[in-house]
């Protein structure tokens, strides 16, 4: 999969990923970010990886406090890229699995406080709503591409 990424690629991991083995597959121009930022085209992008603790106990679940610390570490950004969506029912309910997934209160609080242009996330495979606006922030489930048949492309 890493061989198919264009250069440059910036990515973060989800709750079931194994980022400890990623360096063995990564190459120049592919950068893993977690709790870090990068500037692209004059916009500041923040990346927060991993998942919140659940009964599933997937490999990269961390405490709410650890996740919140990573959200805080990126600070004010134009685009927040995170695995976990803001904690809103419309974004966390999976219509196929017929259950709520964990959403992040820290991401929701950061969005309400800093109003980035976008929050791009995944985690919920078939959400009740693929996108929603919180104030001026457009929150988009970019992992929902299977239903749309095409990946989300951010153009600025």
Distance between CA atoms of 91 and 145, rounded to whole angstroms? 15
CATH of the domain at 65: 3.60.21.10
On whether residue 156 sits in a domain, the answer given is no
Tell whether omega for the bond before 8 is within 30 degrees of 0, i.e. cis.
yes
- Position 1 scores a pLDDT of 81
- The pLDDT tens digits of the residues spanning 55-75 come to 989 888 999 999 999 999 999
For the whole prediction, is pTM greater than 0.85?
A: yes
Provide the residue range defining the domain that includes 58.
2-148
| Three-class secondary structure of residue 25 per DSSP | coil
Q: Mean per-residue pLDDT for 10-33? A: 89
* pLDDT band per the 50, 70, 90 thresholds, residue 93: very high
How many structural domains compose the chain? 1
With both helix axes pointing from N to C terminus, report the angle between 105-114 and 64-74 in degrees, rounded to the nearest 10: 30
- Position 146 scores a pLDDT of 67
Distance between CA atoms of 17 and 21, rounded to whole angstroms? 9
- Residues 130 and 144: beta-carbon distance below 8 Å: yes
């Amino acid at each position: 999969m890493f061989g198919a990424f264009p250069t440059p690629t910036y990515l973060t991991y989800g709750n079931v990923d194994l980022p400890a083995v990623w360096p063995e597959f990564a190459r120049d121009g592919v950068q893993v970010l977690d709790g870090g930022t990068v500037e692209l085209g004059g916009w500041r992008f923040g990346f927060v990886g991993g998942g919140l603790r659940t009964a599933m106990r997937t490999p990269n679940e961390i405490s709410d406090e650890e996740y919140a610390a990573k959200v805080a570490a990126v600070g004010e950004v134009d685009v927040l890229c995170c695995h976990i969506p803001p904690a809103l029912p419309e974004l966390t309910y999976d219509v196929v699995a017929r259950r709520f997934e964990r959403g992040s209160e820290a991401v929701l609080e950061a969005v309400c406080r800093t109003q980035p242009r976008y929050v791009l996330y995944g985690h919920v495979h078939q959400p009740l709503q693929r996108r929603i606006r919180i104030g001026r922030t457009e929150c988009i489930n970019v992992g929902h591409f299977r239903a749309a048949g095409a990946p989300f492309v951010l153009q600025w």
